[in-house]
Amino acid sequence: MKFATDWSTSAVIARREKYYAASQRKFQPYQKPLILKRGAGQYLWDEKDNRLIDLLAMNVCISVGHAHPDVVQAASEQAVALPHCTTMFYHPVPAHFAEELAATMPAGYDWVVHFTNSGAEAIDLALMMARTFTGHRDVVALQGGYHGPTYGAQSITGISGFRHDVGLPGNVQFAMSPNPYRGEFGDDIQRYLNALDNTIRFGSTGNLAAMIIEPVQGYVGIVPMPIGYIEGAAERIRAAGGVMIIDEVQAGFGRTGDSFWSFEQHNVVPDIVVAAKGIANGYPLGAVIARKHIAEPMADKFLFHTYGANPMSCAAGRAVLRVISEEQLQQNSKAVGEALVDGLRGLMDDHPNIGDVRGRGLMIAVELVKDRGSKAPATEETAIVFEQNRHHGLVSSKAGPERSVLRLVPPMCLAQSDVPTIVEAMDRSFAALK
Ligand SMILES: Cc1ncc(COP(=O)(O)O)c(C=O)c1O
């Protein structure tokens, strides 16, 4: 059976405008909506068959490439056999995937997995787990962190545009983010750690449940945590009775190049890790990966995530792990990411609005400023370059509290041969500011 789908531009726009709720209609960044029809690898095609290089990866969900044949095959075979198996019944595929995820974690610890429907749900679960295990409620989060749209995840999100005045849960304190480019203390990690001490001493009860950190803060504009900060923070949090939760939803699965999990670059073994997005290359899934003794006190809590451990998504996830390894996508992220950062830095001579180009692997930011001295955020200029990028064949995204950062997080299969095309396209986009 085939359903009629009207692909005409005006009909696609009109139908969404009429039937989507206001809260879902809002997220539309372009002047003229972008309608996407198909994808392959790092490329997308719109409804008129124009090809674009995808530098957003569907908000970092496409880890190994759009419609990767191995992932499609694994998920399709599972869809034909049994598309869903509720978690009260047993199925081998999610259990295999849990074992394989556990094997990616630091050796010498017992890791267990709880699958959820999404990243935000996994974040909520991680908070519950930390609070149950420690018997404390206070959580420290970082300014600039993003953790999702649910009540729990919003409560620890440190960007006002993603926090809404709807009565968010309390027991959360925000610590200063160690942002080397914009932070008050520049790259002086010790001063950020002192500030964290003050947050704990003056803002909390002194007894913590957890601290949560994204090793590369994504939505605030790609801010990699400086080496030494997470390690120092973990010591302080544990001294106050809390556990360390690492949010790998954007930065995990080899994307940052030097390691499979981005926390591995920070000399710290987390207590709880949250993963989602790229975990299954676009099939919906989230996961909490925790040390067994920390997850154990939840045994008496009935928590039923209907589609958590969905076998189709887990089959896709198993294929993702294999493709990352077989196609060496972590190594590719590192090499192509470095080449792209180099190429983009090369544009700084000609384009004074580029204040900073930074990144880890294929999490890259081009931050726009009015001028490099004042670092005043160049919001309007970013909007222009963003629209121009589309015109020149690139899908990018605007990030940061002032929407003044171009966030580049392509599928990890982006090729070296794409780099000159991207740099030339960006060069032309920035030329529009002259
Ligand atoms: C770092 C981070 N954590 C958590 C989430 C929440 O994940 P989800 O959108 O799957 O609920 C996101 C989503 O953008 C994210 O970027």
In this prediction, residues 325-344 reach a mean pLDDT of 98
pLDDT for residue 302 is more than 90 = no
Pocket of ligand 1 (CB under 6 A): 118-120, 123, 146-148, 214, 218, 247, 249-250, 276, 286
**Mean pLDDT score of the chain, rounded to an integer?**
97
**Ligand 1 atom at shortest distance from the alpha carbon of 59:** 14
pLDDT for residue 347 is more than 90 = yes
Lay out the sheet containing 43-46: strands in order across: 36-40, 43-46, 51-54, 394-395
61 HSE (CA, 13 A, CB side): 14
SS3 state at 427: helix
Give the residue among 213, 247, 242 at the shortest CA–CA distance from 230: 213
Find tokens 């670059």 and name the residue. Answer: 265
pLDDT for residue 28 is more than 90 = no
**Residue pLDDT, tens place only, 360-400:** 999 999 999 999 999 999 999 999 999 999 999 999 999 99
- Among protein residues, the one whose CA lies closest to atom 8 of ligand 1: 119
Burial class, 273, CB count within 10 angstroms (exposed 0-12 / middle 13-18 / buried 19+):
buried
Say what the pLDDT of residue 280 is. Answer: 98
| Residue 262 to residue 257: CA distance in whole angstroms | 8
Per-domain residue ranges of the chain? 9-19+34-68+328-431, 71-326
The answer to whether 220 and 159 have CB atoms below 8 angstroms apart is yes
Say what the pLDDT of residue 27 is. Answer: 83
Give the residue among 125, 133, 205, 216 at the shortest CA–CA distance from 173: 205
CATH architecture entry for 71-326: 3-Layer(aba) Sandwich (3.40)
pLDDT over 90 percentage in the chain: 97
Choosing from 59, 63, 147, 219 the residue with most ligand 1 atoms within 8 A of its CB, the one to mutate for a pocket test is 147
In this prediction, residues 119-139 reach a mean pLDDT of 98
Say what the pLDDT of residue 420 is. Answer: 98
Say what the pLDDT of residue 2 is. Answer: 85
- Among protein residues, the one whose CA lies closest to atom 7 of ligand 1: 119
H or E, element range at 384 = helix 379-391
| Residue 334 to residue 311: CA distance in whole angstroms | 31
CA 307 to ligand 1 center in whole angstroms: 17
Say what the pLDDT of residue 223 is. Answer: 97
**Ligand 1 atom at shortest distance from the alpha carbon of 248:** 1
**Residue pLDDT, tens place only, 141-153:** 999 999 999 999 9
Say what the pLDDT of residue 40 is. Answer: 98
pLDDT for residue 33 is more than 90 = yes
Got the DSSP string for 265-314? GGT---SEEEE-GGGGTTS--EEEEEEHHHHGGGGGS----TTTT-HHHH
**Ligand 1 atom at shortest distance from the alpha carbon of 121:** 11
**Residue pLDDT, tens place only, 221-255:** 999 999 999 999 999 999 999 999 999 999 999 99
pLDDT for residue 329 is more than 90 = yes
Say what the pLDDT of residue 418 is. Answer: 98
Q: pTM for the whole thing?
A: 0.97
CA 120 to ligand 1 center in whole angstroms: 6
pLDDT over 70 percentage in the chain: 100
The pLDDT-based confidence of 350 (bands split at 50, 70, 90) is very high
pLDDT for residue 189 is more than 90 = yes
- Among protein residues, the one whose CA lies closest to atom 2 of ligand 1: 147
H or E, element range at 37 = strand 36-40
| Residue 413 to residue 164: CA distance in whole angstroms | 36
Query: What beta strand segments (E) does 292-422 contain?
Result: 354-360, 363-368, 394-395, 397-399, 405-408
pLDDT for residue 262 is more than 90 = yes
Say what the pLDDT of residue 1 is. Answer: 80
**Ligand 1 atom at shortest distance from the alpha carbon of 217:** 1
In this structure, how many other beta carbons lie within 10 angstroms of the beta carbon of residue 393? 17
**Residue pLDDT, tens place only, 277-295:** 999 999 999 999 999 999 9
CA 428 to ligand 1 center in whole angstroms: 32
CA 352 to ligand 1 center in whole angstroms: 33
In this prediction, residues 409-418 reach a mean pLDDT of 98
In this prediction, residues 303-322 reach a mean pLDDT of 96
CA 387 to ligand 1 center in whole angstroms: 25
- Among protein residues, the one whose CA lies closest to atom 13 of ligand 1: 148
In this prediction, residues 78-95 reach a mean pLDDT of 97
Superfamily of domain 9-19+34-68+328-431: Aspartate Aminotransferase, domain 1 (3.90.1150.10)
Say what the pLDDT of residue 358 is. Answer: 97
Say what the pLDDT of residue 126 is. Answer: 98
CA 276 to ligand 1 center in whole angstroms: 7
The answer to whether 316 and 87 have CB atoms below 8 angstroms apart is no
Got the DSSP string for 128-179? HHHHHHHS--EEEEETT----SSHHHHHT---GGG--SS-----EEEEPP--
| Residue 316 to residue 307: CA distance in whole angstroms | 14
CA 147 to ligand 1 center in whole angstroms: 5
Say what the pLDDT of residue 45 is. Answer: 98
Q: What angle do CA 189, 213, 331 make, to 5 degrees?
A: 90
Q: What's the N-to-C CA distance of the chain in angstroms?
A: 53
Q: What is the dihedral of CA 305, 148, 282, 77, to 10 degrees?
A: -10
- Among protein residues, the one whose CA lies closest to atom 4 of ligand 1: 147
In this prediction, residues 48-73 reach a mean pLDDT of 98
Choosing from 277, 285, 310 the residue with most ligand 1 atoms within 8 A of its CB, the one to mutate for a pocket test is 277
